Every structure is written in C-alpha cells, then in structure tokens.
Chain A
Amino acid sequence: MRGLTSRRREPSRTESQVKTETLRLEWSRAGRLIASIDGTEHAVTVSRCFPWSEPMAFLSLRDTEDAEVALVADPLSLDAASRAALDSALAGASFVFGVRAVIDLDEEVELRTWHVSTDQGERRFQTRLDDWPRKLPDGGLLVRDVTGDLYRIGDVRGLDRKSRERLWAFVD
C-alpha cells in the first residue's frame, strides 16, 4: 500500500495511520527539515528504506534520537511544497559519488586503490582487496571504500573501453 504511516515510540500510537494531508514538510530558517504531524513539529532527517531498488518510495522520517516519526510510502501523496522539501533533503541524505570512468586500479598488499572520474570530480579511494563491488538491482555496481564512502557505477557497459577492461574482473 502506498500512502503514509506513522510510527511513534509511545505504544498507543504505534502503527497508527497518518493521513497524507496531515503531514507537512518544510525547511526551518535554522536549516532543519521540519515534519508537522497533527500540529506537532519534529526536526527530522530522511532515510531511504530501499535505497537501490525503491529509491523514491518508503522514506523514513526520523527525529533527533533516530526514532521514526513517519514513513512516507509514496512522496507523490504529499503536497507540492512538502515534496520539494523532501527532495532537497534526499539530495543530501542519499548522495553517493557517480563514477564516469575508472582511470586506474592499483593493487598492493591488502589494499586496492581506485582512481576514478566522478560526477563530482576526480577522486582516489581505497578498498580492501577482498571487498568486492556490490551488484545493484538495476545492474549497476556499488563500491564502498574503507572509510564508508559509496561510489556508484550506473551502467558499466556505457563506460569507455579502458574503464570496462579495468572493471572486467568485478562484473558478472
């Protein structure tokens, strides 16, 4: 079911449904995303339940103690202003580097160093030798470096020949 549900810590409110029109999202002047539910305001952050298979559905709004205040199953059910606020919050929460080309791959003891060109600029990062890229539901690859930064290679076949050759061992 797509719509909106709210989960609160008080047992009596657990799993209670919140009608779409009762949730408003907006940015405060202090730069915080504020969720208003039944007139109560919560400073929230957004977390995707399925960041790779359903990136634009099932968005969990979480308060400062990381407890869920509402689960947005379908953002289209929100009003336009709330949707815009949600979109800008998602840009930060779900930011990952988008890889355009693999410039170099170098191996040494325990470490593999990647030199990549990304949508954000050129970057070097390291993975463990036995950490393999993860295959995403859309066929792309996700690489996680030793610091936890994520690098997404959307369409491996769309990369240049050299990049494809360097990635060959990591693609099924």
Chain B
Amino acid sequence: MSTAIHDTDRRIIDRYTDQPAGLPAELRHRIEAMTGAEPVLLYAFADIDDRYMLASAWVVLTRSHVVVVSPDGRFMAGDTVPSTSAAEGAGIRLIERWHVTAVHDSRGLSASTLTLTAARNEPPLLVVRYTNRQRRAFERIRFVLEEGIEGRDVPCGDPDLEYAAAIARPIRDTQALVAGRPTSVLLRLLGYMRPYRKELAFGMTAAALITAVSIAPPWIAGRLIDRVVGPAQAGTLDVGRASTIAWLAVAALAMVHVIRQAAALARLRLMSVVGEWVVRDLRSELYAHLQRLSLSFFARKKTGGLITRVTSDTDRIWEFLAFGIIDASLSIVMLIGLSVVLLSLDWRLGLVMTVPAPVFCWLIYRHGEKINPLFLRTWRKWSRVTDVLSDTIPGVRVVKAFNQEQREVDRFVEHNDDVTDEANNVHRMWTTFWPVIMLAVHGTTVMVWALAVPRLLGEGATLSTGTFVSFLLYATMFIAPIDVIGQMARTMHRATSSAHRVFEVLDTEPDVRDIQNAIRLEPVEGRVTFDNVSFSYDGVRQVVRGVSFDVRPGELIGLVGPSGGGKSTLVNLVARFWDVSGGVVRIDGIDVRELDGGHLRRQIGIVLQDPYLFHATVLENISYGLPGASPVDVIAAAQSANAHDFICRLPFGYETVVGERGQTLSGGERQRISIARAILNDPRILILDEATSAVDTETEREIQEALDRLIAGRTVFAIAHRLSTLRRASRLFVIVDGRLAECGTHRELMQVPDGRYRRLHEMQLSMQ
C-alpha cells in the first residue's frame, strides 16, 4: 500500500470520524517498553463500553501479548475481568497470548463483542465491544489470534497502514477523492483546456467583444435622441444634416449587431468545440484508466454508476466548459460595467438600479438553497418509482406466476402519484419565485421612472431624454447577468460534482500493480505453488486461510467443497486478479507479484460457468485473446471445442453477431465458444470454474470431450460440484471454509474415515 493511500486514509479518519487516525506514538512506546520491546503487530479502537455508551480504548496485539489501553481506566469488560499480568501505568492491561485458548466474536446489529477466554469455566480474559466501524480492524486481530492458537503464524504488515485502511475503507469505497475543494477541482478541470488555449483565447476574446459592443447600442440611441432628433425637432439642427447623422447612426447600430453576432458565432462554435475536445480527452483517459483498474474496484462500484461517469458526467462538464465558465465570468464583468455606465450617466438613477442588484443575486441564490430540500425529497420519491421498475421488470415472471400484477400496478401508481405531488411542490415554488423577483426587478424600473419624470418635465429639466432612453435600455440588460450570477453557485456545484466523480475514478490506483522491471516468464512451465496464503475481499471475512500446496506442471487439480468455501477465490489468486493478504503465490517458483501481470494472464485460460460473449461476431469472440488469428486456426479451435458444427448452422457462420442483443445461443453453445477462445489462446495454465454445471447431460458430454482435448499438456485447476466430472484429476483438493481440508487422489481420499470428500462422494452417489 502506498504512502499516498495511507495519507488519504488518515485524512478520511480525521475528517469524517471522531476517532484517532492511529495509535498515539507515546502509547506505542509505553506498550513496547512494557512488553519487552515487542513491536506492535496490529491494533484496533474499541468505541463502545460495557454499558453500550460511546467510549475510547485501544486493543493492541504484539507477538506474545494482547494489550488493552483505556485512558479513562475502564477496560471495557465490566468488573469481572481479572488481569493476567501486572499492569504498569494507569489504564493499561497486559494479557499474555499463551493464556488465550479461545476467541469468540458475537455480532449484533451495530455492536459486536470480542471475548478472549482462557478455559471453559473460567471468567473471560477480555470482553471488548465495538461498532461496525471498527469491525475490520478487530476481525484482523481475531484472525491472527485464532491462527496463533492453532499454532500458525500470520505475517502482519505495517499496523498503522492496516488500521487506517480498515477504518477508512468503507468511506474511501464510497468516495475515493477526499478533501477535494471545489476550487481545486475546478482548477484541475481547467487544466484540461491547456492544450486548446489558442481556441480558448479566441473564444474569450469573442465573448469579451460581445460584452463590449453590447454597451454601444443604448449609448448610440441616447446620443442620437439628444444630439440629433431633439435639436432637429426643435429646429436648431438642419434636417438634412440630422438625417445624414441619423442614417450613419443606424448604419453604426447595424454594424454593431453584425459584429456582435459574428463574435457570438465565433464564441459559441469555438467553446462548444473546445468543450467537446476536453470531454473527449477526459472520456478516453477515464476509459483507459478503468481498463487499468483491478477487479476489486469493479466489485465495489455499480456498473451503472461507472457508465454514468463516462457519459452523463462528462456531458455536464461539457456544458460547463462550453458555456458556464464564460457566461459566469462575463456576467460579473457585464454587471460591473453596466453599474459604472449607469452611475456615470446619472448617479441618482444609477443608484436605484445598482443597489438592489446584489440583493437580487442573493435572493436567487437563497431560492436555490431553499428549493434544494424539495429536490432531495423528489429525488427520494423518484428512487421509489425506479425501485418498483427495477424490481418488477426483471422479476416479471414471479409477478405473473403469483398473479400479483394488479398489486404491482397499485404500488407503482401510489409512488407515481407521490412523486408527482413532490414535483408539483417544486413547480409551485419556482413559479412563485420568478414572477415575484421579476416584479421586484421591474419595480426598480418603475422607481427609475418615478424619479425621472419630474426631472424630465418642466422648465429647466435636469435629465435629457436621450440619457434617460439610454438608461432604460441599459436597465433591461441588467436582468440577464443577475440571473446567471444567482444561478452560478448551482451551476458550479453541478459541474464540480461531475468533475469530482470523474477525478475520483482517475485518482484510484489499481490494487494489483506490476513492479518496475517485472519478470516475464518465457516459457511458463505451469508450476503453481501456494505458501501459507490468506486472503480477504473486504478485510472482514477471511476467504482463504493459510492454504499451502505445490502443483506440478501438467497436473489436473480438482477443487471440490461446499459453495462459498473459497475455491473460485483460490483460482482468482492464481491469475492474480487480487493480491494475497498474507503468504505467497508462486508461478514456476517466482512470486506472482514480481511477474508481468498482463503477460502472466496471457498464459492463463479461464472457462467460467456462465461465459461472457461480447456483442461481436463468433470469429471476433473466439479470437478475442489473439486478434488476427488465421481462419484455419479459429476453425481448428472451434472443432476441438465441438463448436464448429453449430457455428456453421448459424445464419452467417463465423460472422454471426452474438452476445447481448445478438444471435441467441444456448448455454452449452456459449460455453463451447468460450472453450474455443481458450484453446486458441493456448494457455499453459487453465482454470475451469464450474464449466459444465449449467448444461444438460448430452451437452455436458460434448463439452467434457472438448475440455479433455483442451487440458492435455497444461496445468489445470477444475472446480466442479459434480465429482464425476473430475475423474481424470491427478489430485483433488477439498476446500472448506477457506482451508485446504483434504488433498489426495480419489482413491486416497475415499480411504479417509469420515473424510469430507468421502461423505460428498457418497452423498452424490445416493442422489443418483
């Protein structure tokens, strides 16, 4: 685990929880001093006391001690717990690990209890309670203690890293990018525009030109009235000359509008195009990064959510880049510019217009804030509607089988009515707000009129008609920037949220990474060695526990045992889809973490129970791992997989499109295409994960024939529930609860009295 991830984890703990980000250094030194300089292996934070009140205590594991530290002196165990060793210093208690004979974990809804006992009828050595937030850290301690009791040593990493990762992981899984301030996200987003700075500069110039020339028409109108129309009507200016000046002014107005629209064209086109280029770059980077990420990332993120990030979120970013940034910045410039112009035209009328402007901006912002809970409520009710849809459309057979169509219709109508009511509440709010705010804006114009009329009329009028007309025209331009500035917070929030979601993916580092100068095995012999391997997907439940074996090249290993026992996980570790939590997996004697992952996986073929075919032709699916394979090789692979015949019966033979929305194939047919894909790839190590369990007996026979050809000369791991399919296995591994419970040939295992394999075999015989 990198230091950067550790720093993120510590930041998460500091920012989102009320507990320490690690064991205080001073405490660690005291513990080490009390335990004879034993280093701290693991630690966890107990946050509930014996009365189920929030508390804070540490449980620390060293090589030969369990240390309990409770600053307030409470040992989280009631007063029945005796100390097994003299405590030095207040609030610290040592328990020698050799005393512990059993570890019991009792899980409740929100609180679990870890009990360490010495002997059956003796009081517990330790009873400690904690919430689910601490569960990962305690689970690790429990696992190491249990293994220790069994005499097995579990290698532990850096305790600070393990603790921080255990606490922060659920939050990091929800939101990987932590403490990203909106401004830094925005700056990072703008950084993507750097390659297009020339176009951006043109776009900005065009937008600035639009703003600048927009100021001209009211000014021209005012001057025309005061200097030309007025004097001409009063007879102080020659009509012919006035007419010439007026036509020039009209021409100037026309020119201004032409320039303005030409600039608008340049600005709209340039910024739209630049926006598209930026999001194209983002989408490509995002997709390429997704392909780099480990399976663990996809296991904790919903597919729909990831697709949204590549599509809708980038689209929203485009909208912001193309229009949002310039609109917002130029609106501010426009508002300031207009204020200056209005105040310089007439400071008294100018004040009437400009003073309320910030108030209007603030009111629009407040309106956005106030409408948010309504949106949230509507969103919540929408999710109920979508829940009904996502429940009942895939489950329509069950609905029909139980004759519950009307009930589901009623349920949908109820939620649909509910969401409509909420949406109408939203509409009521904004449809009330906008007319009122516009009334207030127009109210200022009326105020301007009210103040202007006495100054326009009568003897010695102090306000010229032209100035007033200019003023009114400028006043109408005030509304648009106020609206944009008021909405800016929301626009920014939407854009930064989308950018945040995109950057979150980009900032996620793959859990499984190649080291520098990774080794390429050429050729791979196919020896697979597990040395005391442990693994957990979520850091809570140990799925593989201390498994060791050595498989020689060319061996066929049958993996059997109950569902959920860890068989598929073992083969995933061979392919290094995940990295082990403890121990080592070796291929040809080399730790898989030192091997080039991509190269290794090209040597491994996988045939799954439910094979995935892409929306592509049969040919493309078979040659997926070897693009450009010759038709002769593809046909030979399909023939070996017993697939050639049915492929030829398809409407377009090997060029028939299959997969989602393609030609419908049966489970057996899809399976045989996936076997052909594996045969063509010619892997040295082959993994068959329940390859024949989803098909009928006849198809199974055909697939089995294909598999028999496929496995020749390769190291094979075959997972099967039907033991009869493993008759050719060199050895059988019985995997129970993450452990290698039994290992041997069929004959050897059948001789184990009350053996797991023997029981399984007899049970299957009796069911036939």
Taking Cβ atoms with an 8 Å cutoff, the residues of A that contact B are: 28-32, 43, 45, 51, 64, 91-97, 108-111, 113, 118, 120-126, 128, 130, 132, 145-150, 168-170
Contact = CB atoms under 8 A, between A and B. Distances in A.
B171 A126 contact: yes
Contacts of B501: 109-110
Interface stretch (B109-117, B461-469, B559-567): B109-117
B110 A31 contact: no
Contacts of B52: 91-92, 95, 120
Which of B106, B108, B171, B174 gathers the greatest number of chain A CB atoms within 10 Å?
Answer: B108
Contacts, number: 115
A30 B504 contact: no
Interface in B115-155: 115, 117, 119-124, 127, 129, 131-133, 135
Interface of B: 16-18, 48, 52-54, 80, 104, 106-111, 113, 115, 117, 119-124, 127, 129, 131-133, 135, 170-171, 173-175, 177, 180, 373-374, 376-377, 379-380, 383, 497, 500-501, 504
Contacts of A145: 133
B16 to A, nearest CB: 6
10 contacts: A30-B122, A31-B123, A92-B52, A95-B52, A120-B54, A121-B54, A123-B18, A128-B174, A169-B374, A169-B377
Contact of B377 (A51, A108, A147, A168): A168
A130 B376 CA distance: 10
Contact of A92 (B121, B129, B376, B497): B129
B163 to A, nearest CB: 14
**Which of A30, A146, A169 has most B Cβ within 10 Å?**
A30
A31 B497 contact: no
A120 B18 CA distance: 14
A110 B173 CA distance: 10
Contacts of A31: 80, 115, 117, 123-124, 127
Nearest to B127: A31
A150 B174 contact: no
Nearest to A97: B110
**Interface pairs A-B: 5 shortest CB-CB:** A121-B54, A148-B132, A169-B376, A109-B500, A31-B124
B135 A147 contact: yes
Contacts of B129: 92
A149 B133 contact: yes
A122 B500 CA distance: 30
Given A95-B52, A95-B110, A147-B133, A30 B174 contact: no
Contacts of B18: 122-124
A81 to B, nearest CB: 18
B720 to A, nearest CB: 25
Given A30-B117, A124-B17, A170 B380 contact: yes
A120 B501 CA distance: 35
Contacts of B53: 120-121
Contact of A30 (B123, B171, B373): B123
A121 B72 CA distance: 16
A120 B122 contact: no
A120 B446 CA distance: 60
Contact of B106 (A93, A94, A109): A93
Contacts of B115: 30-32
Name the residue among A91, A92, A94, A125 with the largest chain B CB count within 10 angstroms: A92
A146 B170 contact: yes
Given A45-B106, A92-B108, A111 B54 contact: no
Contact of A150 (B80, B110, B173): B110
B121 A168 contact: no
A148 B170 CA distance: 9
A126 B174 contact: yes
A106 B136 CA distance: 26
A168 to B, nearest CB: 6
Contact of B175 (A30, A51, A111): A111
Contacts of B374: 169
Given A92-B108, A95-B48, A146-B171, 9 more contacts: A30-B120, A64-B104, A92-B111, A109-B175, A120-B52, A124-B18, A146-B173, A147-B135, A170-B377
B504 A109 contact: yes
A125 B13 CA distance: 11
Contacts of B175: 108-111
B174 to A, nearest CB: 5
A132 B170 contact: no
Contacts of A125: 133
Contacts of A64: 104
Of B18, B115, B504, which is in contact with the most chain A CB atoms at under 10 Å from its CB? B18
A121 B108 CA distance: 19
Contacts of A170: 377, 380
A123 B380 CA distance: 24
B121 A29 contact: yes
Contact of A168 (B108, B109, B177, B373): B373
Contacts of A130: 379, 383
